[in-house]
Structure 1
Amino acid sequence: MSNHQKRLSAPNSWPIERKEETFTVKAGAGPHGESGVPLLIVLRDVLGYVDSRKEARYALDHGSVLVNGKAVSDEARPVGMFDILAFAEREEYYRVFPGEGGRLSLTPIDEEAASSRLGKVAGKTQVAGGDFQYTLHDGTTLVSDDGSYAGGDSLVVDNETKEVVAHFPYEEGALVTAVTGGHAGEIGTIEEITVTAGSGTNAVAVAQDDSEADSASDGDGEAVEPGFETIEEYVVVIDENFTDGGDDE
């Protein structure tokens, strides 16, 4: 199987130039599915810490690059939405966050915030013994005796203990960010959740203030309230301090 991925056919979330070269590195097996970005692309194309795959392998062999608190040795290991990247020797910490157009970008955070990461609950089942198993947006699972978390909620998980340290319910009034679609990277508050009957997806109306969106006007030049509509699969509940590098709790 080829270790290369054509740039033009790479997922839109990959932060790469499409026309500079024909190929780029292919993501290995791991979390985030097809949207996961190989760590090499982050190190080389985004941060500029290495110039080649060989340099990336050398850096990773020294255990100085951590993803969600764990040292990574595979340069093809996929990273994705809300992962925490730590470079201990540089004392640099980043959270993977949605940027304009759905491209993944890195938000600098402090060391304390880097000790945990956020996950959107994508599935929930009860297991033997009465505990609950939760599947997060990146495919990882955790087991808890707390059955109050629901699909669409966000959980902040400690990277070391794997315990839930914060819970943000998916509900009207919650602060969210769009992670894909035409409004990827935008932040606002859920104004209304419209439940669609049958197998259709639910719609979400998100309100924004002037600090979250540019002013808008209708076709007659009248000002309209800023905000957007999307589907609930495209939004994730976040904390008010989530984008400024502070603690998630």
Structure 2
Amino acid sequence: MGNHQKRLSVPNSWPVERKEATFTVKADAGPHGENGVPLLIVMRDVLSYVDSRKEARYALNQDAVYVNGDAVSDESRPIGMFDILTFPSRDEFYRVFPGVGGRLALTEIDEESASSRLGKITSKRQVNGGEFQLTLHDGTNIQLEDASDYSVNDSLVIDNDEKDVVAHFEYGEGALVTAVDGQHAGEIGEVEEILVTPGSGRNSVTVSTETPSASPEAGEPGEDREFETVEEYVVTIDENFVGDEE
């Protein structure tokens, strides 16, 4: 397998211009699956901190970049939704957040906010020994003796140092969510209704929100409206994320 990826075929979440060149860097296997964006693209194309792979490797060898509290040495390490990027020498902290159209964007945050990260529970099962294993959207596994308070589609806040659960946001009607994929990616609102599809079909969810900008289709700014999307496209958040986006 080569180290390059054609720009025209990259996932929609990658923040790259498809027609600037034929190829871009390829992400290694790791968190976030095929939607994970190589760290090199973030450092070079988004933040303009380096001009080349060589410069990125040098910076990473100096422990200049931390992802979710851990120093990173691989410039192809996939970066994805809700990851926390820390640049100690610059005293800069970023949260990876879904932007309009599903492209991943960086939201600058303070040091306290960078001490933990959000994860959506995508799987819950009992493992050998009687403990329960929760799997998050990025593939992280957490084992707990008692997981009765947690359900699939809930969100957890994980401390980056101790890897402990420090907050829990329940998914359900009235929950604050953000769409992370699909036509409404990047929009934030409250769950109005969860539409359960019988059988193996995907559930959908109706979300109420405010129109962010004027357009003939969307209405005037601040106007209440609703949108419907696939349940797996929404993630439960709290008001702190709304503040970050503003």
TM-score, normalized by the shorter chain, greater than 0.5: yes
Aligned partners of 1:57 and 1:217: how far apart in 2?
47
Amino acid at match of 2:230: I
Question: Counterpart in 1 of 2:209?
Answer: 208
Identity between Structure 1 and Structure 2 (%): 68
1:31-58 Cα deviation digits (max 9, x unpaired): 0000000000000000000000000000
**1:73-104 CA distances to partner (integer Å, 9 max, x unpaired)?**
00000000000000011110000000111000
Q: 8 Å contact 1:69–1:160 — kept in the other structure?
A: yes
Amino acid at match of 1:229: E
2:15 aligned with 1:15: yes
Aligned pairs for 1:122-133 within 5 A: 122-133=122-133
Q: Shift of the alpha carbon at 1:113?
A: 0.6
Displacement after TM superposition at 1:217 (Å):
7.2
Distance 1:217 1:15 in 2: 27
Structure 2 partner of 1:74: 74
Letter in 2 for 1:235: V
User: Residue in 2 aligned with 1:162?
Assistant: 163
Give the 3 Å change call, closer, same or farther, for CA 215–174 of structure 1 in structure 2.
Answer: farther
* Structure 1 residue 209, shift from structure 2 partner: 3.2
Matches within 5 A, 1:54-203: 54-147=54-147, 148-203=149-204
Which amino acid counterpart does residue 55 of structure 1 have in structure 2?
Answer: E
- SS in structure 1 at match of 2:240: coil
User: Cα offset for 1:215?
Assistant: 6.0
SS at match of 1:244: helix
Query: Contact 1:53 / 1:75 at 8 angstroms: preserved in 2?
Result: yes
Separation in 2 of the partners of 1:218 and 1:53? 43
Q: Which has the higher helix share?
A: 2
Partner of 2:36: 36
Structure 1 distance, partners of 2:199, 2:63, is 49
Q: Is the 8 A contact 1:28 1:76 kept in 2?
A: yes
How far apart in 2 are the matches of 1:231 and 1:200? Answer: 10
- Cα distance in 2 for residues equivalent to 1:27 and 1:57: 15
Q: Which whole-Å deviations, capped at 9, do the CAs of 1:116-138 have from their partners, x for residues lacking one?
A: 00000000111233221000001
Unaligned runs of 5+ in 2: none
Match of 2:58, SS state, is helix
The alignment yields a C-alpha RMSD, in angstroms, of 2.0
**In 1, Cα distance between the equivalents of 2:37 and 2:43?**
11
**2:117 is aligned with what amino acid?**
R
Show structure 1 runs of 5+ residues with no match.
none
Q: Is the 8 A contact 1:98 1:179 kept in 2?
A: yes
Distance 1:11 1:215 in 2: 28
Equivalents in 1 of 2:104, 2:217: separation in Å? 31
* Aligned positions, number: 242
Q: Distance in 1 between matches of 2:217 and 2:70?
A: 49
SS of 2:57's equivalent in the other structure is: helix
SS at match of 2:210: coil
> Which amino acid in structure 1 is aligned with residue 238 of structure 2?
D
Equivalent residue number for residue 239 of structure 1: 238
Judge conservation of contact 1:216–1:226 (CA < 8 Å) in 2.
no
Q: Distance in 2 between matches of 1:190 and 1:216?
A: 23
Residues in 2 aligned to 1:28 and 1:201: alpha-carbon distance in whole angstroms: 30
